[in-house]
Amino acid sequence: MPPHVSGVSLSEGLDPSELSNFFEKFESGIGVWTESETEAVWLPAKVVSQKAALLTVVDDTTGARVEIDRGFAEVHPQNPKVVADMTALFHINEPGILHNLRVRSDLRDQRPYTFMGTLLICVNPLQVVPDPPMETYVGQQLDPEAPHPYAIAELAYHQMKLGTGGLTNQSVVVSGESGAGKTETSKIIIKYLAHRTQGGVGGLDNRVIESSPILESFGNAKTLRNANSSRFGKFLKLQFTADTAALAGGFMETYLLEKSRVLSQAQNERNFHILYELVAGADPALKKRLGLGSAKDYHILFQSGCTTLEGVDDAEQFRGVVHAFNTVGLTAEVQEQVWRMLAAVLHTACMKFAAEETAEGEVATVPQKDQEEEAAEASAAANCGAPCDVRTARVDMRDEGQGELIAELLGVTADDVSKLLTTRTMTTHGETFVKRNGLPEAAYARDAAAKALYESVFLWVVKTVSDSLGRGAEHLPFIGVLDIFGFENFARNEMEQLLINFTNESLQDIFNKQVFINEIHLYEQEGIEVAVSSCPDNSECIKLLSSKPNGIITLLDAVCREPAPTDEGYTRQLHAKHARDQHFPAVHKKFMKDAFMVRHYAGRVQYTVDGWITRNNDRIPEAFQDVLAKSSLEAVQGAAKVLSAAAPAPGHARVKSGTFGGGAHARTKSSLGSKPTVARGFMDSMTKLQAVLEKTTCSFVRCIKPNADMKLGVFNNKYVVDQLQCLGILQTCEVLKVGLPTRVTYTELKDVLKNHAAAAEKLFEGEPEMALISAMLWAFDVPSDAFKLGKTRVFFKAGQIALLEGLLKNASAEKGDWIMDRLRQALADRQAAKAEAEEVDRLLKEAEDLYRTGLIDAGMAKKAASAVSCGPTPESQELSQSQELSQTLKRVRKSVTPDQVEALIEASRVDNLGQYAPDAKAKFDVAAEDTLAKARAAKDAADALEAALGGVGGDLGDTLVDQLGDAVTAMQRARTALVAAARAAWDAADKCLAQLAKERAAEACAYAATVTASAATVRTACTAANGAADAQRAALAAATAAAPTAVDLADVAGKAWTEFREVARQAQLDEDDAAMDARAKAAREQREREAAAAAAAAAFSAAAADELPPPAIGRRSSDHKLSMIESHKDFNASQNIRFLAGAGSARARRQSTMGDLLDMEQKAEEEAKDEIGELVVR
């Protein structure tokens, strides 16, 4: 394929992805998923409209109309249908996958299995779901519409037979959290593989199938999360013959049995199933021989308050185990020996010790029958955990005491049992001596012996079952089925949870490598284009847990080697060494002494360090294996050997202490065994397992738990989506959508030609190697869409492996001539198809030039259109200038206006300014005329600035952006389609498909025409945008030129306005003062006139008194005059009052017009100054 097809590199203009994001739209009416803070996580909605990043939807659930800013919230399109293979989803996203699984899990049509390419997802149905007939999968290619564990098993079987990619061995990794259904899924796969082959070892298939119930009973238990939780890991390898792929044998390996469960369980959990099944299912005679009671008679079975499982009959399960033992070849005698060892575990764990005073102090003894009741009371405080009921220790023990009964059950002597638990051998300074145990030491030895005894039984049963499968030669190909404990996060997490979660981290790492990293790397190497999101990587967390010397697990071993190791010291070192690690989050201060936290791939887990030093050392009485080895019972002897073989050679994990569990340091070697630590043994096992898995081709089954409470019919979205995220299922979809899981090298395919290989290579001389390979596939009618050609191998899509089988079977030597004829025809078709592809290549080159130019034009047009638009585009310098000028206009508008000046002039008229102070009025008029002229000039300048700014921005810019977006989108789609057509044309040429290449060429012509037309539209929009931008720049220049004048005139007018108001205030004061002076003068003159009149009247009265009395009429006239004088006095007083009142009223009247107006203007000016200040700051 020509190099230019892979893409266009642009040095200028807009990046295509940027344009796509800028113009991406959701069509109105389509269904989408919107984020929710509720348990639903995602809610369905319908799109109403979209404007830029603002999306308006209607919630399907509530009917509410919601606006979503896509810059801050995720929105994903819905898929049109639910599918059986999620690589076929139109839209691969979290809500789409979640919805698909939810619908398929609905009880009305429950389909718990769903494909993702060759990856199987199993949502635990929480009920029995009938399996389809196995025959429908045997020999069939992978059907995307029929997901089931049978299909994964068949795929692994096919790949093992073919040896694709040079590998033969296969592994099926079943993973998920506890309760997700891993064990049941593994059983289905094993059952299918056991029945898949014909011939092989007789009865082996039944033995393989019957191994499951045995291992479940001995290794599974009820936890809070799962009623049948695997408390160990199991890797079952089924071997097949190299020629016929018939089942030839098998063997199994186990990892990390949770031995601590033997002694203690959390509330409402159970011990291992087999202990309850034994006490419930053993017949009376057997129970009597074993000295057994009921489950409630044993503290280790009843301490959690749970002895039964809902819907499970322990007695029936016991009979199933007996049947399975019979199938794998255990005789009734050997089976009873197994029951005896289990009974010994129950009796040992409940044993009480008597106290005896000796010269060494108080020591422990194993009591006889008549001492048991007294011993129970005396040693209750010393025994670990809550003691068994006194009655419990005496149930059906016949005439023996506890020690004698345990010894009889194990086929050893009572003295051996007593010495094992109550004494220890000490070596110091080269001298060896026996020391008696006190009650605490004896209790510790008893608990260690009980756990070790159960572990030895478990390991012996596993080995016996494994041996029954008949392990074949090492070179035989195998299919391994790994069923291992799921990720755990409880309210209290101990050392076992840490090791379990480390296992899951390791498995996740293998999953990442095989499904993501290796796949993508191989695609890149082979030149196959795959677009995927970033792959998850948990290697840093694995490093935190296991790196040397300071990894969390390895550091535990290092602390155990210290002279006086303590849990607190270990925790303190963890916090000191890893405080800054991003996968080591801080815990609350109150938990710092005994807890730490790890951020796993599946979430954060807080671990409580309590007794880890003791647990890790896992020390058992040194004579334990020797005592069991001396047993008269075959199974007990075998258990001792298996336990000894399971522990690697003793190394650095030795605690030099005379006390139990790694306490205070002493130069003494204890008789407690110094076998390697639990952590070291576990890490060694995990290293080996990881090495095996990395050398096989892995198929993966991801199991999902639908809800935390295991309730039938409940699918909790939030609970499930957390699992989807931590299992990496979203990224898996992106990789597997390509669907190329089967690969065959070119060399392997050319071997099909046999004797004709040389002639075929000569025929294709001058052609690339893939030409011959594609011609071969064409010759055998392999569909072109079933494979992709890499540089060195062919990649077949999921489910197409049967086509490859057909090619290999049909390429016989007898068909050599026919093959050569077909190759010649294929070569001719290749040449014709190549010519068509070259024509498409020419069209593509021309379109690429147009596309590149169009993108550059679009980039410039977008900037120009954005400058025209009023929308927020901070990168636009023109918009920045426009905004600055707009702020300037606001400042100018805040200056004085002619209306303000005229209002003050009108107020002076209302107040009759100048009536008393004409000089003040004259000054006022001069200032008014000057200010009004300047205000009018400032207004005209502001109007001119506003008019210039009116040419900047507007709807035209938005319209151009929309037009440009449509044109660019059309051009992009056409270009993308053209590139796809070019690739398809070359792919058709590579695959010798002349007709298909011709069809792709015709399509390419149409797409090229669309690119040309769209590029022209972009050019037109660019021209319009540039024209609008030029007009805007001109308007901006005019506004920029007008702004200084407007500012200057506004400042001048503002200054004049300030001065004019001062003149107005002074004129008002002058007018008031003049008015008061005038009225005071008038009052004085009036009083003088009245005084003169009064004097004249007085003189007249005196003259009249000297004369004769006047006539009556004259008297009346005189009286009248006197009355008038008095009246004038009264008038004089009232006039003075009215004058003063009138003067006050006039001043008040002027204050209510000019004064109030001036005060209002003063206040407005102060507010304007504040606002202008803010504008300047902005």
Residues within the annotated binding site for ATP?
A: 176-183
Hey, which bits of 946-1094 come out as E strands? Answer: none
H or E segment at 77? strand 75-77
The separation between CA 860 and the C-alpha centre of its own chain, rounded to angstroms, equals: 39
Other Cβ atoms within 10 Å of 198 Cβ, number: 10
Phi and psi at 902, nearest 5°, equal -65, -35
Angle at 914 between CA 908 and CA 919, to 5 degrees: 120
Place of tokens 């000039």: 937
Parallel, antiparallel, or unpaired: how do β-strands 119-123 and 113-116 relate? Answer: antiparallel
Q: Residue 468 class from Cβ within 10 Å (0-12 exposed, 13-18 middle, 19+ buried)?
A: buried
| Whether the Cβ atoms of residue 8 and residue 853 lie closer than 8 Å to each other | no
Place of tokens 């200010």: 931
Other Cβ atoms within 10 Å of 1112 Cβ, number: 8
Residues making up the binding site: 176-183
Check the CA dihedral 1039-1041-1042-1043 and report its sign.
Answer: positive
The rounded distance, in Å, linking the Cα atoms of 852 and 452 is: 75
Tell which residue, 418, 391, 390, 423, has the closest CA to residue 405.
418
Residues 6+ apart with CB under 8 A from 933: none
Angle at 326 between CA 324 and CA 331, to 5 degrees: 140
Give 572-613 as a 3 state SS string. HHHHHHHCCCCCCCCCCHHHCCCEEEEEECCEEEEEECCCHH
Helix axis angle, 816-868 relative to 877-893, nearest 10°? 20
| Whether the Cβ atoms of residue 405 and residue 347 lie closer than 8 Å to each other | yes
Parallel, antiparallel, or unpaired: how do β-strands 229-230 and 423-428 relate? Answer: unpaired
Place of tokens 């303190």: 572
| Whether the Cβ atoms of residue 943 and residue 1051 lie closer than 8 Å to each other | no
Within 13 Å, how many C-alpha atoms sit on residue 860's CB side? Answer: 19
H or E segment at 354? strand 354-358
End-to-end CA distance of the chain: 57
The rounded distance, in Å, linking the Cα atoms of 78 and 91 is: 7
The rounded distance, in Å, linking the Cα atoms of 1034 and 1027 is: 11
At 1003, list the tokens. 């399509």
Residues 6+ apart with CB under 8 A from 668: 426, 427, 428, 656, 657, 658
Tell me which long-range contacts 202-208 makes (C-beta under 8 A, separation of at least 24): 204/247, 204/248, 204/249, 204/250, 204/469, 204/470, 205/247, 206/327, 207/327, 207/328, 207/329, 207/465, 207/468, 207/469, 208/236, 208/238, 208/247, 208/250, 208/469
Write b or e for each residue in 1050-1062: b if 16 or more Cβ atoms lie within 10 A of its Cβ, otherwise e: bebbbebbeebbe
At 131, list the tokens. 């399996």
The rounded distance, in Å, linking the Cα atoms of 567 and 556 is: 9
Q: Look at the chain and count its residues.
A: 1178
